[in-house]
A and B are shown apart, each in its own frame.
Chain A
């Protein structure tokens, strides 16, 4: 009887730990990716607002805008790919490593956009990016 009670208790503990850990790991990945998507989109919004304002003021040339438009669309395309990959991951249609690859490409596109922003926008017109 004693062995039975202890055995059931240990089994319940192990199952609970396994279940709890699995739920946490999955949550953290989803939360982390959702956070990354929100933060990068926030950075893009700041960049887009600045470019749009300066374009209205005539400080961005047609060529400058065309270049910005190309880079911004590239970033958004990659961002959308990550969101769709994450949706597929949540449906069990793809793996976390495939999502990680998409995140890497999105961050690379944002790095390029940030570099363009820093090199094109006058220092006194730049907003601090996060």
Chain B
């Protein structure tokens, strides 16, 4: 394979697969990956849902 053919192949691969790959990686990074703070907040929500006896209010 000549140098030009290798470069053309690389460019065509980048054009074909590049956008999808970039989209997937960006989605994995930025798409609301739950954080430690999200789980802390969930713990607070659960703690606020303790049963309350309505007859002893």
Q: Which of chain B's residues 1-48 have a Cβ closer than 8 Å to chain A?
A: 1-3, 6-7, 10, 13, 21, 24-25, 28-29, 31, 33-40, 42-43, 45-47
Interchain CB contact under 8 A, B55 and A55: yes
A residues with a Cβ closer than 8 A to B are 1-2, 5-6, 9, 16, 19-20, 23-24, 26-27, 30-31, 33-34, 37-38, 41, 44-45, 48, 51-52, 55-56, 65, 68-69, 72-73, 76, 79-80, 83-84, 86-88, 90-91
Q: Out of B10, B37, B40, B45, which one reaches A5, CB within 8 Å? A: B10
Q: With A and B bound together, what is the CA distance between A27 and B29 in angstroms?
A: 9
Interchain CB contact under 8 A, A1 and B13: no
**Given contacts A2-B1, A20-B24, A27-B28, A80 and B33 within 8 Å (CB-CB):** no
Q: With A and B bound together, what is the CA distance between A73 and B42 in angstroms?
A: 16
Interface of B is mostly: helix
Q: Out of B13, B33, B45, B53, which one reaches A27, CB within 8 Å? A: B33
> Could you tell me the distance in whole angstroms from the C-beta of B24 to the nearest C-beta in chain A?
6
Q: With A and B bound together, what is the CA distance between A86 and B51 in angstroms?
A: 24
